[in-house]
Amino acid sequence: LECRRCRYLRTARAWGQVVEALLAVLILVCSSVSCGSPGGYTGLPSLGGIYYYQYGGAYSGFSGADGEKAQQLDQRFYLLKLPIARAAMAAGGCLLVFPCVLILAGVLQLPWRFPAWLLLECVLDVVTAVGMVPALYYFFHFLLGVYNSSECREREQLYRSKGYQGFRCSLHGAEIAAGLAGCVAVAAYLLSAGLAVRGYRTVGKLKQKPVQ
Protein backbone atom coordinates (compact mmCIF):
# COMPACT_ATOMS: atom_id res chain seq x y z
CA LEU A 1 0.00 0.00 0.00
CA GLU A 2 3.00 2.31 -0.31
CA CYS A 3 2.57 3.01 -4.02
CA ARG A 4 1.01 6.29 -5.09
CA ARG A 5 -2.13 4.63 -6.45
CA CYS A 6 -2.71 2.59 -3.30
CA ARG A 7 -2.32 5.36 -0.73
CA TYR A 8 -6.05 5.99 -0.85
CA LEU A 9 -6.66 2.51 0.56
CA ARG A 10 -5.05 3.62 3.82
CA THR A 11 -7.53 6.44 4.39
CA ALA A 12 -10.57 6.38 6.65
CA ARG A 13 -12.88 6.93 3.67
CA ALA A 14 -11.52 3.84 1.93
CA TRP A 15 -11.93 1.67 5.03
CA GLY A 16 -15.48 2.94 5.46
CA GLN A 17 -16.27 1.99 1.86
CA VAL A 18 -14.75 -1.46 2.39
CA VAL A 19 -17.03 -1.93 5.39
CA GLU A 20 -20.01 -0.85 3.27
CA ALA A 21 -19.07 -3.43 0.62
CA LEU A 22 -18.78 -6.20 3.23
CA LEU A 23 -22.16 -5.29 4.69
CA ALA A 24 -23.65 -5.40 1.19
CA VAL A 25 -22.24 -8.90 0.70
CA LEU A 26 -23.81 -9.94 4.02
CA ILE A 27 -27.17 -8.53 2.97
CA LEU A 28 -26.92 -10.31 -0.38
CA VAL A 29 -26.05 -13.67 1.17
CA CYS A 30 -28.68 -13.48 3.93
CA SER A 31 -31.35 -12.47 1.42
CA SER A 32 -30.54 -15.44 -0.79
CA VAL A 33 -30.76 -17.75 2.24
CA SER A 34 -34.13 -16.22 3.13
CA CYS A 35 -35.40 -16.95 -0.37
CA GLY A 36 -34.77 -20.67 0.09
CA SER A 37 -35.47 -23.28 -2.54
CA PRO A 38 -38.54 -23.72 -4.75
CA GLY A 39 -38.29 -27.50 -4.62
CA GLY A 40 -40.51 -28.15 -1.64
CA TYR A 41 -41.02 -31.48 0.03
CA THR A 42 -40.40 -34.56 -2.10
CA GLY A 43 -41.97 -37.82 -1.05
CA LEU A 44 -40.78 -41.43 -1.09
CA PRO A 45 -41.88 -42.39 -4.62
CA SER A 46 -40.13 -39.40 -6.19
CA LEU A 47 -36.66 -40.28 -4.94
CA GLY A 48 -36.70 -44.05 -4.92
CA GLY A 49 -36.66 -44.75 -1.21
CA ILE A 50 -35.33 -41.44 0.13
CA TYR A 51 -37.25 -38.75 1.95
CA TYR A 52 -35.82 -35.36 1.20
CA TYR A 53 -36.66 -31.82 2.17
CA GLN A 54 -35.57 -28.61 0.47
CA TYR A 55 -33.41 -27.46 3.40
CA GLY A 56 -31.43 -30.70 3.36
CA GLY A 57 -31.69 -33.71 5.63
CA ALA A 58 -33.69 -36.89 5.59
CA TYR A 59 -37.29 -36.68 6.78
CA SER A 60 -39.96 -39.32 7.14
CA GLY A 61 -43.57 -39.31 8.18
CA PHE A 62 -45.21 -37.92 5.06
CA SER A 63 -47.00 -40.13 2.62
CA GLY A 64 -49.78 -39.85 0.10
CA ALA A 65 -52.01 -36.79 0.48
CA ASP A 66 -49.92 -35.34 3.33
CA GLY A 67 -46.81 -35.37 1.18
CA GLU A 68 -48.56 -33.64 -1.71
CA LYS A 69 -50.07 -31.08 0.63
CA ALA A 70 -46.67 -30.38 2.21
CA GLN A 71 -45.14 -29.85 -1.22
CA GLN A 72 -47.91 -27.48 -2.30
CA LEU A 73 -47.64 -25.46 0.91
CA ASP A 74 -43.86 -25.24 0.55
CA GLN A 75 -44.13 -23.96 -2.99
CA ARG A 76 -46.82 -21.42 -2.11
CA PHE A 77 -44.80 -20.23 0.87
CA TYR A 78 -41.74 -19.90 -1.37
CA LEU A 79 -43.68 -17.82 -3.90
CA LEU A 80 -44.92 -15.53 -1.13
CA LYS A 81 -41.37 -14.79 0.03
CA LEU A 82 -39.84 -14.61 -3.45
CA PRO A 83 -40.64 -10.92 -4.28
CA ILE A 84 -39.12 -9.43 -1.14
CA ALA A 85 -36.14 -11.80 -1.30
CA ARG A 86 -35.40 -10.76 -4.88
CA ALA A 87 -35.80 -7.09 -3.98
CA ALA A 88 -33.40 -7.50 -1.05
CA MET A 89 -30.85 -9.30 -3.24
CA ALA A 90 -31.12 -6.54 -5.86
CA ALA A 91 -30.62 -3.90 -3.16
CA GLY A 92 -27.63 -5.82 -1.79
CA GLY A 93 -26.12 -5.98 -5.28
CA CYS A 94 -26.52 -2.23 -5.78
CA LEU A 95 -25.07 -1.53 -2.35
CA LEU A 96 -22.08 -3.69 -3.28
CA VAL A 97 -21.41 -1.92 -6.59
CA PHE A 98 -21.69 1.60 -5.14
CA PRO A 99 -18.75 1.48 -2.66
CA CYS A 100 -16.64 -0.44 -5.19
CA VAL A 101 -17.09 2.42 -7.66
CA LEU A 102 -16.12 4.94 -4.96
CA ILE A 103 -13.02 2.94 -4.06
CA LEU A 104 -12.00 2.82 -7.72
CA ALA A 105 -12.54 6.58 -8.03
CA GLY A 106 -10.39 7.16 -4.97
CA VAL A 107 -7.58 4.96 -6.26
CA LEU A 108 -7.67 6.87 -9.57
CA GLN A 109 -7.43 10.13 -7.54
CA LEU A 110 -10.63 11.48 -9.02
CA PRO A 111 -11.51 13.44 -5.82
CA TRP A 112 -8.15 15.27 -6.06
CA ARG A 113 -8.66 16.23 -9.69
CA PHE A 114 -12.34 17.13 -9.24
CA PRO A 115 -13.05 18.08 -5.60
CA ALA A 116 -16.76 18.48 -6.41
CA TRP A 117 -16.81 14.67 -6.66
CA LEU A 118 -16.55 14.57 -2.87
CA LEU A 119 -19.68 16.68 -2.50
CA LEU A 120 -21.50 14.37 -4.91
CA GLU A 121 -20.24 11.41 -2.90
CA CYS A 122 -21.56 13.01 0.29
CA VAL A 123 -25.00 13.55 -1.26
CA LEU A 124 -25.15 9.98 -2.55
CA ASP A 125 -24.13 8.60 0.85
CA VAL A 126 -26.86 10.59 2.60
CA VAL A 127 -29.49 9.60 0.04
CA THR A 128 -28.50 5.94 0.37
CA ALA A 129 -28.63 6.05 4.16
CA VAL A 130 -32.01 7.81 4.24
CA GLY A 131 -33.43 5.50 1.56
CA MET A 132 -32.44 2.39 3.47
CA VAL A 133 -34.65 3.31 6.43
CA PRO A 134 -38.02 2.87 4.61
CA ALA A 135 -36.51 -0.07 2.72
CA LEU A 136 -35.78 -1.86 5.99
CA TYR A 137 -39.28 -1.09 7.25
CA TYR A 138 -40.85 -2.49 4.08
CA PHE A 139 -38.57 -5.56 4.23
CA PHE A 140 -39.73 -6.55 7.71
CA HIS A 141 -43.32 -5.46 7.12
CA PHE A 142 -43.56 -7.68 4.03
CA LEU A 143 -41.94 -10.66 5.78
CA LEU A 144 -44.24 -10.38 8.79
CA GLY A 145 -47.19 -10.33 6.41
CA VAL A 146 -45.93 -13.56 4.82
CA TYR A 147 -45.45 -15.23 8.20
CA ASN A 148 -48.94 -14.18 9.28
CA SER A 149 -50.51 -15.62 6.12
CA SER A 150 -52.82 -18.63 6.16
CA GLU A 151 -50.36 -20.61 4.00
CA CYS A 152 -47.59 -20.25 6.58
CA ARG A 153 -49.89 -21.14 9.49
CA GLU A 154 -51.22 -24.20 7.72
CA ARG A 155 -47.69 -25.29 6.80
CA GLU A 156 -46.52 -24.87 10.39
CA GLN A 157 -49.39 -26.95 11.73
CA LEU A 158 -48.81 -29.70 9.16
CA TYR A 159 -45.14 -30.10 10.03
CA ARG A 160 -45.82 -29.80 13.74
CA SER A 161 -48.39 -32.62 13.49
CA LYS A 162 -45.59 -34.86 12.21
CA GLY A 163 -43.27 -33.85 15.01
CA TYR A 164 -41.05 -31.51 13.00
CA GLN A 165 -39.82 -28.32 14.61
CA GLY A 166 -38.16 -25.34 12.95
CA PHE A 167 -41.02 -24.42 10.63
CA ARG A 168 -42.48 -21.73 12.85
CA CYS A 169 -44.01 -18.64 11.27
CA SER A 170 -41.45 -16.17 12.55
CA LEU A 171 -38.35 -14.38 11.30
CA HIS A 172 -35.30 -16.61 11.11
CA GLY A 173 -31.66 -15.79 11.69
CA ALA A 174 -30.71 -14.87 8.11
CA GLU A 175 -33.53 -12.33 7.84
CA ILE A 176 -32.67 -10.77 11.19
CA ALA A 177 -28.99 -10.65 10.18
CA ALA A 178 -29.90 -8.91 6.91
CA GLY A 179 -31.88 -6.30 8.83
CA LEU A 180 -29.06 -5.71 11.32
CA ALA A 181 -26.55 -5.40 8.48
CA GLY A 182 -28.84 -2.83 6.89
CA CYS A 183 -28.99 -0.82 10.13
CA VAL A 184 -25.20 -0.86 10.45
CA ALA A 185 -24.93 0.17 6.79
CA VAL A 186 -27.10 3.23 7.46
CA ALA A 187 -24.63 4.36 10.13
CA ALA A 188 -21.67 3.55 7.86
CA TYR A 189 -23.04 5.65 5.00
CA LEU A 190 -23.71 8.61 7.28
CA LEU A 191 -20.16 8.35 8.58
CA SER A 192 -18.85 8.20 5.02
CA ALA A 193 -20.82 11.34 4.18
CA GLY A 194 -19.08 13.18 7.02
CA LEU A 195 -15.69 11.90 5.88
CA ALA A 196 -16.41 13.06 2.34
CA VAL A 197 -17.12 16.59 3.57
CA ARG A 198 -13.93 16.55 5.61
CA GLY A 199 -12.02 15.31 2.55
CA TYR A 200 -13.46 18.14 0.45
CA ARG A 201 -12.20 20.70 2.95
CA THR A 202 -8.79 19.03 3.12
CA VAL A 203 -8.40 18.97 -0.67
CA GLY A 204 -9.39 22.65 -0.86
CA LYS A 205 -6.72 23.61 1.68
CA LEU A 206 -4.04 21.54 -0.05
CA LYS A 207 -4.81 23.03 -3.46
CA GLN A 208 -4.33 26.54 -2.06
CA LYS A 209 -0.74 25.70 -1.08
CA PRO A 210 2.14 26.04 -3.57
CA VAL A 211 2.93 22.85 -5.47
CA GLN A 212 5.86 21.04 -3.89
Q: Of 166, 142, 139, whose CA–CA distance to 155 is shortest? A: 166
| Bridge partner list, 52 | 42
The answer to whether residue 1 scores a pLDDT higher than 70 is no
> 197's torsion region: left (phi>0), alpha (psi -120 to 50) or beta?
alpha
- Write down the pLDDT at residue 68: 78
Tell me how crowded residue 92 is: count the other CB atoms within 10 A of its CB.
24
| Bridge partner list, 42 | 52
| C-alpha dihedral (176, 181, 182, 188), degrees to nearest 10 | 160
Contact between 92 and 174 (Cβ < 8 Å):
no
The answer to whether residue 111 scores a pLDDT higher than 50 is yes
pTM above 0.85, yes or no: no
Mean pLDDT of 75-88: 89
